[in-house]
Structure 1
Amino acid sequence: MEQEALGLIETKGLVAAIEAADAMVKAANVDLVGQEKIGHGLVTTMVRGDVGAVKAAVDAGVSAAENIGEVLSNYVIPRPHTDVEKILPTKK
């Protein structure tokens, strides 16, 4: 998992998060590694893969989620530091 990009999309509501996740894994060769329910209806969805695939997946996920809900933020981290890896969900 090290040296793989991390893509994140934060939405308001679970339905938009599920739509984003579905679009991301269909759009590019990425692995869905988790969703975190933060509270107050906020959900962050995370994918891993090579940088280009993660960027394409996040773009597709944002577009899909915006069609049915609210996207609060999105970001791609090309190579998360190994210390950051400790707090991320692991791939199943």
Structure 2
Amino acid sequence: MRTYEAIGAIETFGLVFVLEACDAMCKAANVELVGYENVASGYISVIVQGDVAACQSAVEAGIEAVEKLGANVYSSVVIASPHGDLNKMIDRYRLSDLLPAEEGDA
């Protein structure tokens, strides 16, 4: 079972705003983009993982980036020491699971 020091998430409306948030989050701190989910009617959530301080910095940067574009962040969270059972949810959105296997991967 994978465990992380922390996870961070942002939810906003629209792909353009999510892309801007993801870019800012990944540039602001040493976090890994886990994945995203088109929640409903254009609301999109994005999840990152890393250490607590990095996730906090990333979420703050993502919020700032979205707000600079004049959009709203509907929710955000940083969870330190997430319970292992959260992997059941997080793994559903994992981008690496959506990508085709590289040649030589088995």
Count of aligned residue pairs for this structure pair: 92
Instruction: Determine if contact 1:31/1:91 at 8 Å carries over to the other structure.
Output: no
Runs of 4+ in structure 1 off by over 4 angstroms are none
SS in 2 for 1:87: helix
Q: Which has the larger radius of gyration?
A: 2
Paired residue for 1:72? Answer: 74
Structure having the higher strand fraction is 1
Superposed CA RMSD: 1.3
What is the distance in 2 between the residues matched to 1:74 and 1:3? 18
C-alpha contact (below 8 Å) 1:21/1:32 kept by paired residues:
yes
Give the TM-score of the pair, scaled to structure 2: 0.81
Structure 2 alignment gaps of length 5 or more: 97-106
| Matched letter for residue 74 of structure 2 | L
Tell me how far apart the structure 2 counterparts of residues 65 and 47 of structure 1 sit (CA, whole Å). Answer: 16
- Percent of aligned pairs sharing the same letter: 47
Q: What is the match of residue 52 of structure 1?
A: 53
Secondary structure of the corresponding residue to residue 88 of structure 1: helix
TM-score, normalised with respect to structure 1: 0.93
CA–CA separation in structure 1 for the residues paired with 2:6 and 2:86: 12
**CA offsets per residue over residues 50-91 of structure 1, 9 Å max, x none?**
000000000000000111222101100001111111111347
Indicate the larger mover: 1-10 or 44-53. Answer: 1-10
